[in-house]
Structure 1
Amino acid sequence: MNKKYLSIFCIFFWYEAINAFDIKPSRATLDSNVGEMQVEMKMLEDGTWKLTSLLDGGSIVRREESEVFKLIDNQIHPINYRFNQRILFRKYKASADFDWQDNKVSFVENKDKGKIDFPSRILGPSSASLQLRLDFRKFDEEKIPNEIAYDVYWKGTIKNRIYEVSDDKELIQTPLGEYEAYKVSRRFEEGSKRSQIFWLAPDLDYSVIKIYDKNDREVEIKIKNFEELG
């Protein structure tokens, strides 16, 4: 398993944590075939938000990921991103700092470092999935588009991620109950074996109730517990 699996877990902290006017600090426990993870969202003293996730597999694996961002008019503005991973004796460390005055991001990926320009709208590795849910919340259900695209910082480059939305809702069984949900599939290059699918439930304010991810291995993720903080 690699870094890609961790970022997709972060979307679950939004479960019932947002109403039409605000965001609430929260903590979620996620269960999957790669172990249990804690995901937490909190407001910092300067009014920004920090999203963190921790997977602790003892001596075998440990992963920590965090992203600090501002939320302005329904749009996420990343400020910094941090990632640390250890699998047995192999370590990986990455960071990114976003300068919104000059529209540049300074990054470190293990021993590589650099600086690149970014467009007026950019998302961090953790926040792309969060923006997807925010946008679903503002759409009229009859006007949900078939495609949604974002520019996302990823490993020293800017990637254009495209999500395809199925026309019909599916009935999805979860530990929290059975819900109708929109199936949203991330588009990959033709011939790629990668797959990443989210299911968003309108009855739960478009919370993501299930994620399927296939890369080096298949991962299915479901929320186990949720609590509001403070």
Structure 2
Amino acid sequence: MNTQPTEGMNEDQLRDLIQGPGDIEWRYEMRRECQQILPGLLLGPFQVSKNLEVLQSMGVTHIVCIRDAKEAFSVKPRFPDHFQYLTLDVEDSEEQNLIRLFPGARQFIDQAIAQGGRVLVHCNGGISLSPAFVVMFVMQHYRLSWEDALHYVQNRRYCISPNGGFLTQIKEYESIYKATHAVAAYPQQQQQRVVSRRKREDDEEEDEPRYEAKRPTLSDSTGNPEDAMQT
């Protein structure tokens, strides 16, 4: 999925993007359901991933199963014949490194959506682990600040609450993705400068006066070239 930068948006457009649909009334039981965060990207709890009929009705094609290693016996892919899975074993603790695991998850989601699929990202409760990954995805997708990305996801799944360690990593990821984007853009900017410089040099060469080289002639002391050719 290509990023959709928000630099061209005015304040009202950016606020509307972050706030999302205003006609949704959050109910407590909705925490047991999943919500669409982006076109093709859903976020929810493990409970949703156990219902084949619901998954198929929502058009899910890919599932990112994020679980604490201690939950592996219960939180696991249930329908490998129907969906493509990415399973990540992590710990829901403040010491867990999410940034290291995120690139693989992002690539999986990007490829799925690019193929026209729909991805469900879930952990056990859909409260801390999976939302942290989705917030980082939204941040890079829209090139938002970490706060705006967090609010964006919260306004679509109100019950999310990444733990303190995950929030710290979400903040750190803002500078990481911005640096990555700057590095990726640098070669293109350099290439544009080289092309511009070459064009400028070509234009300058065309403006310079051109002189035809004359063939040298032999001459004697009298200045007569024919006499100089005689022996």
TM-score clears 0.5: no
Compare CA radii of gyration and give the structure with the larger one.
2
Q: TM-score, normalised by structure 2?
A: 0.26
Of Structure 1 and Structure 2, which has the larger fraction of its residues in helix?
2
Of Structure 1 and Structure 2, which has the larger fraction of its residues in strand?
1
Q: TM-score, normalised by structure 1?
A: 0.26
